[in-house]
Amino acid sequence: MLNKHYQKTISIIIGLMLFSISLMTPIAYSNGDIEAGKSKAMFCSACHGQDGNSINPEWPSLAGQHEKYLIDAVTAYKNGTRNNAVMEPLVMSLSQKDIEDIAAFYNSLSMSKKDFDLELAKKGELLYRGGNNKGVAACIACHGPTGKGNPGAGYPVIAGQHAEYTKLALIEYTNGNRQSVMNDMMQTIAARLTQEEMEALSEYIKAMGGN
């Protein structure tokens, strides 16, 4: 029987192979209109920033996010899959076309670079690329070596995201306030991370992105 080290290595290799294959698959993007989305996203800018980069680190930056993921996320707030007292009333009046336009607008923007704690980020890199011995798979398998995700499979861009927001998202996966769109993978992973691991991983994710 293979030991845990080789099992982890094989799982990472298989994940990267699937990630690479998925990137070769044609992607059906939304029919969103960027200019229309810019106008419709005005009410979003108070929290997410006019350029998609939020000022409050507890609110996510949406700049550069995949359209499919944004569409799925907003839809989840509308149908109650994600619970958020602020987002739910704001998205209820949006039509499918509105959502597609807003998603296209945010996808066209660029994530800003953020300051980060180098030593903490180094600890997080080990988790991101190698997982841990408690059943947490390497994040690289789904989110890619640069944190850009996979637009076709629905895996989001996470590189450059605020560490505070990423940590809050991981906590929400553990308490049931957030559900993965496709399966319970993130709930399982988050539940196996310690507080310290969440902080280190979130710091590395923040360090990955930006211009």
End-to-end CA distance of the chain: 45
Q: Which CATH class is domain 4-26+114-208?
A: mainly alpha
- Are the CB atoms for 127 and 210 separated by under 8 Å? no
Q: Out of 3.20.20.30, 3.30.9.10, 3.30.365.10, 1.10.760.10, which CATH number does the structure's domain 34-107 have?
A: 1.10.760.10
Reported as a single tens digit per residue, the pLDDT across 16-40 is 444 444 444 334 456 899 999 999 9
Give which of 194, 207, 172, 145 is closest to 85, Cα–Cα.
172
**What are the structural domain ranges in the chain?**
4-26+114-208, 34-107
Reported as a single tens digit per residue, the pLDDT across 99-143 is 999 999 999 999 999 999 999 999 999 999 999 988 898 999 999
- Are the CB atoms for 179 and 187 separated by under 8 Å? yes
Fold match flag (4-26+114-208 vs 34-107):
yes
Distance of CA 26 to the CA centre of its chain: 21
Number of continuous H segments (helices) and E segments (strands) in the chain:
11, 0
DSSP output for 1-23: ---HHHHHHHHHHHHHHHHHHHH
Side chain identity at residue 152, one-letter code: G
Q: What is the pTM of this model?
A: 0.82
Reported as a single tens digit per residue, the pLDDT across 3-14 is 544 444 444 444
- Whether the CA torsion 57, 118, 211, 185 is positive or negative: it is negative
**90-99 exposure pattern, b = at least 16 Cβ within 10 A, e = fewer:** ebeebeeebb
